[in-house]
């Protein structure tokens, strides 16, 4: 079975109040969409397809010819955005996975698991679900008496139904990631009903679920074990939550690999950083960019190390190091600044 990944990246993110697209805002030292792209590229059999807005150049400048691109000429919803990928993918793969460019914590392994679920069950759609609470803005996954998924109800729609409280009490929520049987998707996506949204008429990808059920096709939901994977960032406040979740994940990763973090809540490690065993990191330390730290180092407190390499046994306290290499056993005096010109 062959798999393609479509990344919806056309939204302008007006709620960010920013001059640039929301997906280009950084989390863990990289644009959000770059995290998504790298995870998608790890499992896809074709270059990931980026659905971008007309005239947008930020995404294509980031990935160049590593991705395929298609423009969504109008903002007409997720169903319409996905349909834009049809000319690039129809007849080329067996499965199409659709995700968003502002979900940087979604793992390749989770996407692969979702694709496996769709293939093994022979379902028209496999989707990711997450356990939440009645206050969540996520759509509710509605099941029949036999436990089968029959529809996804958005919160705005639930409030217009007579059983509003019953629907909103559902704790199984739609994470917004789908894997489709490719042939079925492209045969039916043009049949999505138009809905009235705040910004005008839109086509919702969630309506593919009810369509599949009406045709007697199976829809299956796979629960996410790590709730952070479902986090997206459409506002600055949500971006803070995503950043904190990313930091938690990074810190747990290094703690499990023999690195001591004296106060993990106040240590900041970018994704591209490498750290050797038995290194000790004190609070208010920032390891940024393509930084490599050797074994048995002591870093911080109040230290910034950016795009640098420290060999084993270095001791750096209250210092700033950029684009530099420190030999083994180097001990820097406090308040040292090394502004190296070239990256190592």
Q: What is the pLDDT of residue 307?
A: 95
The answer to whether residue 237 sits within a structural domain is no
Of the three residues 194, 213, 230, the one that is the final residue of a domain is 230
Q: What is the pLDDT of residue 124?
A: 97
Q: What is the pLDDT of residue 199?
A: 67
Is the domain of 214 the same as that of 142? yes
Instruction: Tell me the whole-structure pTM to 2 decimals.
Output: 0.90
Of the three residues 212, 230, 248, the one that is the final residue of a domain is 230
Is the domain of 279 the same as that of 322? yes
Q: How far, in Å, CA of 260 to CA of 254, rounded?
A: 8
Is the domain of 107 the same as that of 220? yes
pLDDT in tens, 200-254: 789 999 999 999 999 999 999 999 988 899 998 888 999 999 999 999 999 999 9
> DSSP states of 133-191 as a string?
-TT--SPEEEE-TTS-EEEEE-HHHHTTSTTHHHHHT--EEEEEEEEEEHHHHHHHGGG
The answer to whether residue 318 sits within a structural domain is yes
Q: Return the bridge partners of 52, or none.
A: 71
The answer to whether residue 243 sits within a structural domain is no
Q: What is the pLDDT of residue 343?
A: 46
Domain count, the chain: 2
CATH number, domain with residue 223: 3.90.550.10
Residue ranges for the chain with pLDDT beneath 50? 343-344
Domain enclosing residue 220, as ranges? 3-230
pLDDT in tens, 94-109: 999 999 999 999 999 9
Is the domain of 68 the same as that of 208? yes
Is the domain of 174 the same as that of 301? no
| Count of Cβ atoms closer than 10 Å to residue 315 Cβ | 16
Is the domain of 16 the same as that of 107? yes
Is the domain of 63 the same as that of 200? yes
The answer to whether residue 159 sits within a structural domain is yes
Q: What is the pLDDT of residue 341?
A: 65
Residue 321's alpha-carbon distances to 247, 260, 276, 285, 336, in angstroms, are: 21, 21, 18, 11, 8
Of the three residues 230, 248, 271, the one that is the final residue of a domain is 230
The answer to whether residue 239 sits within a structural domain is no
Q: What is the enclosing helix (H) or strand (E) of 238? A: helix 236-255
The answer to whether residue 312 sits within a structural domain is yes
Is the domain of 281 the same as that of 187? no
Is the domain of 177 the same as that of 267? no
Is the domain of 64 the same as that of 123? yes
DSSP code, position 289:
S
Side-chain half-sphere CA neighbours of 164 within 13 A: 9
CATH number, domain with residue 327: 2.160.10.10
The answer to whether residue 185 sits within a structural domain is yes
Is the domain of 132 the same as that of 192? yes
Kindly give the pairing relationship between strand 267-269 and strand 309-310. unpaired
Q: How far, in Å, CA of 177 to CA of 253, rounded?
A: 25
Is the domain of 199 the same as that of 326? no
């Amino acid at each position: 079975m062959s798999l393609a990944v479509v990344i919806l990246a056309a939204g302008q993110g007006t709620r960010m109040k920013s001059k640039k697209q929301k997906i280009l805002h950084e989390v863990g030292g990289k644009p959000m969409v770059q995290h998504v792209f790298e995870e998608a590229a790890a499992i896809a059999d074709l270059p990931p397809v980026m659905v971008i807005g007309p005239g947008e150049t930020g995404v294509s400048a980031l990935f160049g010819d590593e991705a395929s691109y298609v423009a969504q000429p109008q903002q007409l919803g997720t169903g319409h955005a996905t349909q834009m990928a049809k000319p690039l993918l129809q007849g080329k793969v067996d499965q199409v996975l659709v995700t968003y460019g502002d979900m940087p914590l979604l793992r390749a392994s989770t996407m692969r698991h979702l694709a496996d679920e769709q293939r093994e069950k022979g379902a028209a759609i496999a989707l990711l679900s997450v356990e939440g609470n009645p206050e969540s803005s996520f759509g509710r996954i509605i099941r029949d008496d036999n436990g089968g998924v029959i529809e996804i109800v958005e919160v705005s729609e639930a409030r217009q139904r007579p059983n509003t409280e019953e629907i909103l009490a559902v704790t199984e929520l739609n994470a917004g990631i789908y894997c489709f049987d490719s042939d079925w998707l492209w045969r039916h996506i043009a049949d999505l009903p138009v809905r009235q949204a705040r910004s005008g008429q839109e086509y919702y990808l969630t309506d593919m679920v009810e369509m599949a059920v009406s045709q007697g096709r199976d829809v299956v939901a796979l629960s996410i074990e790590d709730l952070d994977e479902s986090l997206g960032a459409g506002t600055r406040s949500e971006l803070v939550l995503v950043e904190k979740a990313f930091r938690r994940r990074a810190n747990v990763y290094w703690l499990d690999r023999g690195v001591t973090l004296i106060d993990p809540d106040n240590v900041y490690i970018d994704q591209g950083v490498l750290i050797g065993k038995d290194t000790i990191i004190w609070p208010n330390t920032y390891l940024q960019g393509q930084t490599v730290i050797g074994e048995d180092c002591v870093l911080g407190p109040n230290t910034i190390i950016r795009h640098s390499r420290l060999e084993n046994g270095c001791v750096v306290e209250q210092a700033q190091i950029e684009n530099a290499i420190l030999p083994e056993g180097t001990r820097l005096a406090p308040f040292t600044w090394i502004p190296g010109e070239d990256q190592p």
